[in-house]
Amino acid sequence: MTNKAEALAWGEASLTVHQTSASDDDIISDITKMRLPYHLLGGHLQRFGCHLVMRPDGHHTILTHGAHAILDAHPNLYALRYVFQALVDATVLPPLETLNYGSEVANLPVDIVHLLGEEQLQAAKSEKLKIFPQLSVDQGSVGVEPQRKAIIVPAHRLCVRATIDAEQTRRLLATLKRTGFSMTVLYEAAIALNTLRRKTDLSADAQYVQNLTMIALERYFPTGYAAERHIASCMSYVSTVVPARAMSAASNSAQLRAAMETLRDQYAYYLAQPALPLANVVGAPQHDVAVSPHRPIVTNIGVVERFITPSFGGEHAEPALTLQTMLVAQRLTAAQGPVIHAWTFKDEFTVQIQALDIFDKEYLQSFLDDIISTMYSILEGDTVAEATD
């Protein structure tokens, strides 16, 4: 962009307004069927879209649509925060005519290499990221077997989700705090166990391997760094494993505890390595692991309020704008396994599964129900532990 007119043209091309009473999931399904970039009149290619869904009942939705590299969850939430702030008070933004066009590169987020420095980069190159010793690289792993081999409708997104209410979420968090675990470890262990349990011919040495376990890198930002302006993906990928022997325990809660313990150990193992924040730069060993193409892709976005407040405006009165919920969606074209997201918003923990139609929606719902049930079993285990102490 070189001037205000170009900026306004880009903004107008980015925005699509929908006057409808359709549900968010229906709108999302339509949008995710579209391939980027948008092809506009005059041959212009638009690589970002913002959809404003206006409903007669006053419950509106803003959906951003763009490449995953810039619309990863955390930077996307930061960007939406700026949007909502401007909707409530336009004076928080500088006038378009005052912008220094042509200097946009100065606003790009700082690369993790520059944040950490040359010394840590060289240390990472020499040490590399070491894979967890108990993970068998050549053995392969189990996945969630689909109900059919071929996709019926390209990019047709199936989605199921479940929300653990605030009271139950607080119970889970209290138990996790007492026992030294995190919500991420609980959630990932429940997914691993239910993937293993659905394997009918499970061998004693089988393993569930997640070679795209994501570790956010905000913890490595230096003091004073404006993380809210880091509008880009920032994470490292590692490989984690839950062996089938975790299921040898007698009760579901004991199996869950065994799976959580090994995952907690693995997070500690990776976080202790200086090469972790630079793993994607110097090379990460997860690419050498044999994994099932049907393994779930799993991530926990975390507590949404770390990145965006649930209300805007109205410091001395009712908020001018209140956020009711958050949804996540992706355009899936070749995913052979479920894509599972979780997040905590307004003290409620939500788990969402997306998949292509090689799976039946009823099967995905059953898988999700089992994951939630397994997560709850930590409460049973904690009750038993307290009773026997």
d(C-alpha 286, C-alpha 110), whole Å:
25
What whole-number distance in Å separates Cα of residue 342 and Cα of residue 169? 13
Confidence of residue 180 (pLDDT cuts 50, 70, 90): very high
Residues 24, 163 within the same domain = no
135 and 225 assigned to the same domain: yes
What is residue 36's predicted lDDT score, i.e. its pLDDT? Answer: 87
Residue with tokens 């930061």: 78
Distance CA 206, CA 220 (A): 35
Token pair recorded at residue 245 = 């022997």
End of a domain among 41, 73, 105? 105
Say if residue 121 is in the same domain as residue 270.
yes
- Would you state the pLDDT for residue 290? 79
Q: What is the pLDDT of residue 344?
A: 98
Buried b / exposed e along 211-235 (16+ C-beta atoms within 10 A): bbbbbbbeebbeeeeeeeebbbbbb
Mean pLDDT of 76-81: 90
Residues 186 and 256: their CA atoms lie apart, in Å, by 8
Q: Are residues 100 and 121 in the same domain?
A: no
Confidence of residue 286 (pLDDT cuts 50, 70, 90): low
CA–CA gap between residue 387 and residue 249 (Å, rounded): 19
Q: Is 325 exposed, middle or buried (0-12, 13-18, 19+ CB in 10 A)?
A: middle
- Same domain for 68 and 131, yes or no, is no
The residue assigned the tokens 């026992």 is 179
Which domain, by its residues, includes 139? 111-388
Residue 52 to residue 64: CA distance in whole angstroms: 9
For residues 124-139, give the mean pLDDT. 87
**What does the pLDDT read at residue 198?**
94
Give residues with Cβ within 8 angstroms of 300, minimum separation 6: 183, 184, 187, 188, 341, 342, 343
* Separation between Cα atoms, residue 111 and residue 107, nearest integer Å: 12
Show which of 53, 76, 105 is a domain's final residue: 105
What per-residue confidence (pLDDT) applies to 167? 98
Closest CA to 343 of 73, 75, 27, 78: 73
β-partners of residue 231 are none
- Of residues 6 and 286, more confidence is placed in 6
Rounded distance between C-alpha atoms, residue 57 and residue 62, angstroms: 15
Mean pLDDT over residues 361-379, rounded?
97
Please indicate, yes or no, whether residues 101 and 116 belong to a single structural domain of this protein.
no
Angle at 351 between CA 76 and CA 51, to 5 degrees: 35
Q: The tokens 């995905």 sit on which residue? A: 364
Q: Answer yes or no: do 234 and 372 share one domain.
A: yes
Q: Residue 368 has what pLDDT? A: 98
Q: What is the mean pLDDT of residues 51-55?
A: 95
Last residue of a domain, one of 58, 85, 105: 105
Report whether pLDDT(295) > 50. Answer: yes
Q: What value does the mean pLDDT take over residues 99-112? A: 81
One domain for residues 357 and 260: yes
Q: In the prediction, which pLDDT does 389 show?
A: 35
pLDDT value, residue 260? 97
Does residue 122 sit in the same domain as residue 69? no
Cα 237 to chain centroid, rounded = 13
For residue 208, pLDDT over 90 is answered with yes
- Token pair 């990863």 is at which residue? 72
pLDDT tens sequence across 301-338: 999 999 999 999 877 678 889 999 999 999 999 899 99
Look at 130 and 104; give whichever has higher pLDDT.
130
What pLDDT, on a 0 to 100 scale, did the predictor assign at position 49?
92
Into how many domains does the chain fold? 2
Judged on CB neighbours under 10 Å (0-12, 13-18, 19+), 147 is exposed
Mean of the pLDDT values across residues 99-125? Answer: 84
- Give the pLDDT mean for 340-358: 97
User: Cα separation of 175 and 155, whole Å?
Assistant: 40
Choose the most confident range, by mean pLDDT, from 64-68, 170-174, 232-236.
170-174
Which one is predicted more confidently, 219 or 283? 219
Residue 295 belongs to domain with CATH number: 3.30.559.30
Whole-number pLDDT of residue 381: 53
- Residue 341: what pLDDT? 97
pLDDT above 90 (res 289): no
For the residues 342-348, what does the mean pLDDT come to? 97
| pLDDT (0 to 100) of residue 383 | 43
Same domain for 282 and 264, yes or no, is: yes
pLDDT at residue 60 in the model: 95
Give, in order, the Cα–Cα distances in Å from 373 to each of 1, 43, 236, 370.
Answer: 52, 51, 30, 5
